Amino acid sequence: MSSKAADVIASALRARIENGEFASGRLPAERTLSEHYATTRITLREALGQLEAQGIIYRELRRGWFRAPPRLIYNPSHHSHFHAMALEQGRVASTQVIEAREVPAQLAIARHLQLQEGDTVYRIRRLRRIDGRAVLYVEHYLNPACFPGLLAEDLTCSLTDLYDQRYGIRYGGARFTILPGPLPPRAAPALNVASGTPGLLITRINRDQHNRVIDCDCEFWRYDALCVAVEV
Amino acid sequence: MSSKAADVIASALRARIENGEFASGRLPAERTLSEHYATTRITLREALGQLEAQGIIYRELRRGWFRAPPRLIYNPSHHSHFHAMALEQGRVASTQVIEAREVPAQLAIARHLQLQEGDTVYRIRRLRRIDGRAVLYVEHYLNPACFPGLLAEDLTCSLTDLYDQRYGIRYGGARFTILPGPLPPRAAPALNVASGTPGLLITRINRDQHNRVIDCDCEFWRYDALCVAVEV
């Protein structure tokens, strides 16, 4: 339960942020803010915590508080890849490969790919940034029969383009499931949040132009980084 | 950060739940569990907290821990209403009206409904249960010009049916936005969770068969109650 004083400060700060104050993106230090609002550090932190939960501000370790950038609009029916989606929205995307290797498929992944548990799959772990901020930790699981030799390619690029240019494989239909849930220990540190922090988990099972299941993506998003939009 | 001991207990408990133990739905008391795993109450609670965050178990005030029921599958492209969606999935839905009245539209709602801020709208607040468990707190905002006299009707029924039968209005297109975020103070207590608990916020702006915007729904879901599925 929140205190009345924290609610009032949260509203006041929210209004200032929405009116365009703190143009640099960085909020004043907690000490400055608690003096400005003539309140204790505890109450101030409660107010900041409310704004953080609403996705209005976020904290960086040892750097303080920042105004959250606009959410990326994620429309499952537009099959554009991450870099294209960011570009269309005037944002700058970048991709870092954390790991790319062959692994035995765990049961859930094997089912998604229509393989047997323990069959070899390619697993690519990548971290994706928008305007320099890590927002998405993703694990791609590929059926290696579709993509021989792929792990030797430059995997910082779009897989969509690589599939098309090297293998003549293009995306067909896809099935998305979207679940709110806690960010697991392998994803949370890369996204600069504590393990167990709420996030959005999007699983995509992708088919190619011949309707074969070719890969599956397990995406772990910062909860304040995107807005899923669906038009029907 | 989680402790190793808690991780091991969480895995063991998860396996037991997935293997169908605790068929009544209720887990043994914390004391029984901590004796069984020869651990402290603190470590046990950490393990239970992990399973809760994963949506595998949930806690009821003063009643203890329960196995979470299966998530409801929510497919934005199937325009079926709440009761029909539950029925198709073999679940029992019920609806409770919390409040139904005229209110002046706040800016965001006015924009959704293509009205002016302060214009009168109908607001209906309802709580929806699946198999007796409160999973969805929803606020419907209706353009009163489309639905004269609607507030006097029985609002525990499907609005979809009421629109059609009394007003000859059927749903056409809709725009969904799906955001993870904290459950606000007006929604959380009805869902038996603390204010600020993560949830899923789904906003639907609905048009009729003539492409007029007729209403907008603000849905606040328990995060462990549903899985959004989209096929493209």
Pairwise CB contact (< 8 Å): B229 & A182 = no
Torsional class of A186: left (φ above 0), alpha (ψ -120 to 50), beta (otherwise): alpha
Instruction: Give the chain A residue whose CA is nearest to the CA of B185.
Output: A1
Report the pLDDT value the prediction gives residue B61, as an integer from 0 to 100: 67
Pairwise CB contact (< 8 Å): B177 & A55 = no
Q: Does A24 touch chain B (CB under 8 A)?
A: no
**Distance between CA atoms of residues B31 and B41, nearest Å:** 7
Pairwise CB contact (< 8 Å): A181 & B50 = no
Report the pLDDT value the prediction gives residue B198, as an integer from 0 to 100: 82
**Distance between CA atoms of residues A184 and A197, nearest Å:** 8
Q: Does B140 touch chain A (CB under 8 A)?
A: no
Residue A54 has its nearest CB partner, among B77, B79, B181, at: B181
Report the pLDDT value the prediction gives residue B23, as an integer from 0 to 100: 80
Report the pLDDT value the prediction gives residue B2, as an integer from 0 to 100: 55
**Distance between CA atoms of residues B40 and B30, nearest Å:** 10
Sign of CA dihedral A110, A115, A117, A119: negative
Pairwise CB contact (< 8 Å): B2 & A195 = yes
Report the pLDDT value the prediction gives residue A3, as an integer from 0 to 100: 76
Interface A–B counts its CB contacts (< 8 A) at: 103
Instruction: Give chain A positions within 8 Å (CB) of B2.
Output: 185, 195-196
The distance of B14 to chain A (nearest Cα, Å) reads 15
Report the pLDDT value the prediction gives residue B67, as an integer from 0 to 100: 92
* Weakest-pLDDT range from A14-23, A217-226, B106-115, B188-197: B188-197
Report the pLDDT value the prediction gives residue B90, as an integer from 0 to 100: 95
List the beta bridge partners of residue A205. A175, A216
Q: Does A194 touch chain B (CB under 8 A)?
A: yes
Instruction: Give chain B positions within 8 Å (CB) of A76.
Output: 230, 232
Residue B196 has its nearest CB partner, among A53, A182, A194, at: A53
Q: Is A157 helix (H, G, I), strand (E, B) or coil?
A: coil
User: A150-174 burial, b if ≥16 CB within 10 A, otherwise e?
Assistant: beeeebeebbbebbeeeeebebbeb
Pairwise CB contact (< 8 Å): B194 & A1 = yes
DSSP secondary structure code for residue B232 in this structure: -
Give the pLDDT band (50/70/90) at residue A49: confident
The distance of A3 to chain B (nearest Cα, Å) reads 12
CA angle B4, B8, B10 (to 5 degrees): 115
Report the pLDDT value the prediction gives residue A1, as an integer from 0 to 100: 42
Instruction: Give the chain B residue whose CA is nearest to the CA of A175.
Output: B231
Q: Does A50 touch chain B (CB under 8 A)?
A: yes
Give the CA distances from residue B11 to residues A13, A201, B7, B28, B50, in Å, rounded to whole numbers and listed in that order: 42, 20, 6, 16, 10
- When comparing pLDDT for B58 and A215, which is higher? A215
- ipTM value: 0.81
Average pLDDT over residues A37-42: 94
pLDDT digit of tens for each residue in chain B (232 aa)?
457 888 899 999 999 998 889 888 899 999 999 999 999 999 999 899 888 877 889 887 678 899 988 899 998 877 678 999 999 999 999 999 999 999 999 888 999 999 999 999 999 999 999 999 999 999 999 999 999 999 999 999 889 999 999 999 999 999 999 988 878 888 999 998 877 778 899 999 999 999 999 999 999 999 889 999 998 8
The distance of B152 to chain A (nearest Cα, Å) reads 31
Report the pLDDT value the prediction gives residue A44, as an integer from 0 to 100: 94
In order of start, what are the domains of chain A with their CATH numbers?
4-67 (1.10.10.10), 72-228 (3.40.1410.10)
Q: How many CB atoms lie within 10 A of CB A197?
A: 16
CA angle A149, A153, A154 (to 5 degrees): 165
Report the pLDDT value the prediction gives residue A212, as an integer from 0 to 100: 96
Q: Does B71 touch chain A (CB under 8 A)?
A: yes
Report the pLDDT value the prediction gives residue A35, as an integer from 0 to 100: 95
Pairwise CB contact (< 8 Å): B229 & A177 = yes
* Weakest-pLDDT range from A149-158, A201-210, B74-83: B74-83
| Amino acid symbol at B228 | V
Instruction: Give the chain A residue whose CA is nearest to the CA of B207.
Output: A232
- CB contact residues (below 8 A), chain A span 196-225, against chain B: 196, 198-200, 223
Residue B232 has its nearest CB partner, among A76, A177, A195, at: A76
Q: Does A2 touch chain B (CB under 8 A)?
A: yes
Instruction: Give chain B positions within 8 Å (CB) of A199.
Output: 180
Instruction: Give chain A positions within 8 Å (CB) of B178.
Output: 178, 227-230
pLDDT at A2 over 80: no
